[in-house]
Amino acid sequence: MCDIGSGAGLPGLVLAIARSDLRVTLVEPLLRRTTFLTEVVESLGLDSVRVHRGRADSLHGTERFDVVTSRAVAPLDRLLDWSMPLVARTGVLVALKGSSVRDEVVAAAPALARWGLADPEIIELGASMLEQPTSALRVSWADPSQVGLAPAGARSAPAARVSSRGKRPRRSSRKGPR
C-alpha cells in the first residue's frame, strides 16, 4: 500500500497500525512531516512501514502498489496523474474526498478516459454516525491487461486524446500506463 501526501499520517499511518500485515509506503515531500512520520514509525516499531520523502512522481516507473491512498491531496484529475502510475494492474486508488466528490468525478472525465479507468465508485463512510460523512472514491483500471510501467521519471499520463463525442481514439502500440 502507498499513501500519497501522508502529512500527519491519515490514512496511511492509521492503516499501518490497524493492519500490521500490510507493507506501507508513506509518501510526503515536506521534511518536517517526514521527520514526524519517521519518529512515529520508529517509536511504534512499525517495521513494515517506509517513509519516502518526495513527491509521488518520484516513484513513477520504479514501484507499483496494490492500493494507493490519499486524503485531501489534489483535485481528481491531478491526483490521477500522480497516483495511477503507482497502481498495479489489479490494484485500486482509494481517495478520501469531501462532499464535492461527484462534481470532481464529472470534471475529471477526460482524465479518467485518458488513463483507461473504470467508472469510479463513490462510497459514503460514516453516514449513519457523522453529521457530514466522508466520501471514498475507488478507482481501478478498466482493462488491467493494458497497464504498462511508466518510464522512470514520468510525470504525467501519456498523451491520449478524447474526441468531442467522448470516444477514445484507437490505441497506439506505444507502451505506458493506460
Residue 46, domain member (yes or no) = yes
- Please give the residue range of the domain that contains residue 30: 2-146
| pLDDT at residue 148, rounded to an integer | 65
- Please tell me the predicted confidence (pLDDT) of residue 146: 78
The reply to whether 155 falls in a domain is no
Q: Does some domain include residue 100?
A: yes
Indicate whether 19 pLDDT > 70: yes
Q: Is residue 166 part of a domain?
A: no
Q: Does residue 174 form part of some domain?
A: no
Going by C-alpha positions, the residue among 114, 92, 123, 117 that lies closest to residue 158 is 114
What total of structural domains would you count in the chain? 1
- Tell me whether residue 87 is in a domain: yes
Question: Which CATH number characterizes residue 75's domain?
Answer: 3.40.50.150
Sign of the dihedral through C-alpha 159, 174, 155, 5: positive
Per-residue model confidence as pLDDT tens digits over 28-59: 999 999 999 999 999 999 999 999 999 999 99
What pTM value is reported for the model? 0.80
Please tell me the distance from the alpha carbon of residue 112 to that of residue 84, in angstroms, as a whole number.
10
Q: What's the pLDDT tens digit per position in 116-168?
A: 999 999 999 888 898 888 899 999 999 888 776 443 343 443 333 333 334 33
